[in-house]
A = this chain, B = another copy of it.
Amino acid sequence: MAEERAVGTPVLRRLNTAAVLRAVRDCAPEPVRLAELVRLTGLTRPTVGQAVDGLVEAGWLQQHDPAAASPQGGRPAVRVSLRGRAAPVLGLDVGPHTVSAGIDDLAAHRLAAVRLPVGRTGAGRLLGVVDEAVGRALAEAGLGADEIAAVVVATPGIVDPASGRILLAPSVPGWTSVNLSEHLRGRFGCPVQVENDANLAALAVAGERSGAGTLLAVQWGERLGAGVVIGGRLHRGTGSAGEIGFIRPPGDVPDTGDGRGPLERAIGAEAITERARRAARDRPGTALQAGGLDAAAVFAAAAAGDEAAVRVVDEVAASFAQAIAPAVLVLAPDAVVIGGGVARAGSVLLTAITRHLGRLTLTPPVVEFSGLAEDTVLTGALRLALDEVWGRLPV
């Protein structure tokens, strides 16, 4: 019986210092006057003073010289801000082709960013690249492994939320037999969390949109995945939440045996190209005849008004909308945000999806592309790591 035991006056001090620290964060990166903290937290000056003293002592905050900038007439204010390099967190994005590592400090300032290609695919080799990336990132930030306050690793596949073991990862052969979580836990003395990459991308997207509602963030490239964020928190379900790639579209698609799901085979980037090729065969004289055809070219042709291309894009949009409509009806998300390679498709795809989804749902969500660049997943990993640190604030 985990009773909520809240006792003793010390807990008050903890609550108040936490409130002060949060208030300082919300003002980041600007230093805050102590009097301002009093106003923000609603606490009294002595209380804030004691809390700040404790936080400075513990290394969470740094005091600024009163020399710089004091436009107000009166005694120069003591100003504090989050200490740079305090509680740095490590984020990792392990993919089949590249491994990225990044280090943020408490104020979400990027201290290091590394990106390494993976030569031959293979689980053992991959683990070596991960170690290499971690080492370089630590060196770039000038930090030791023992100084890292939290680690979050993004990986493709399905992750068991409890143990951190990878249960299913078709895109990386042998990856399920590697205990990534265990490996990293041995190197770091802090909590290590393994999480699905689409989930972390969703978290990054949710961070961009300040709204706290329900968000379905889709990663759409060769493969197709999604993450669900509800009220700023990741929804995991039994662990495999968001695996939209395995939705079965109406006209079934033959299994290619490469572990991809039906919807990925139907409207993944590769399938879009294939659809365009077929359309070009049936209808000569379209812009889709060009030699080096890829998904981007299809979208470009559609944007230019090529009729065959427009039809292909509309088909793809319709399939996507039909596939996720049941999920949209059940979840009623505020927005569906699309990232990944297809996110560069432009408004042709977007308006088509919006139109179809409007027809298939009761309260159609906003559909938009993610504005985030290639390091979306890494950003999400760092964000979750920072959330973790903020969750178990100071001691």
Q: Which residues from chain A sit less than 8 Å from chain B, CB to CB? A: 1, 3-9, 11-12, 15-16, 19, 22-23, 26, 40-44, 47, 158, 168, 213-214, 216, 226, 228, 230, 235-244, 246-248, 250, 322-327, 329-334, 360-363, 365
Contact = CB atoms under 8 A, between A and B. Distances in A.
B362 A240 contact: yes
B362 A40 contact: no
A6 B1 CA distance: 26
Contact of A244 (B22, B226, B326): B326
B7 A9 contact: no
A373 to B, nearest CB: 25
Given A3-B41, A9-B12, A333 B237 contact: yes
Contacts of A216: 330
A246 B5 contact: no
Nearest to A228: B330
Contacts of A235: 214, 230, 331
A179 to B, nearest CB: 20
A224 to B, nearest CB: 11
A2 to B, nearest CB: 11
Contact of A329 (B7, B42, B246): B246
Nearest to A4: B19
B327 A331 contact: yes
A365 B330 CA distance: 16
Nearest to A330: B327
A191 B307 CA distance: 57
26 contacts: A3-B22, A3-B26, A5-B41, A5-B42, A6-B16, A7-B41, A7-B44, A7-B47, A158-B362, A158-B363, A228-B330, A228-B331, A230-B230, A230-B235, A237-B332, A238-B332, A242-B329, A243-B329, A244-B326, A244-B329, A244-B330, A246-B361, A247-B325, A247-B326, A247-B329, A248-B322
Contacts of A168: 362
A326 to B, nearest CB: 4
Contacts of A41: 3, 5, 7
A226 to B, nearest CB: 7
Contact of A362 (B4, B226, B243): B243
A324 B248 CA distance: 11
Nearest to A44: B7
A323 B168 CA distance: 25
Contacts of A246: 329, 361-362
A4 B16 contact: no
A188 to B, nearest CB: 29
A236 B332 CA distance: 7
Contacts of A237: 213-214, 331-334
A21 to B, nearest CB: 11
A89 to B, nearest CB: 22
Contacts of A361: 246
- Ordered nearest first, which 3 A-B pairs have the shortest CB separation? A237-B332, A5-B42, A241-B332
A147 B175 CA distance: 61
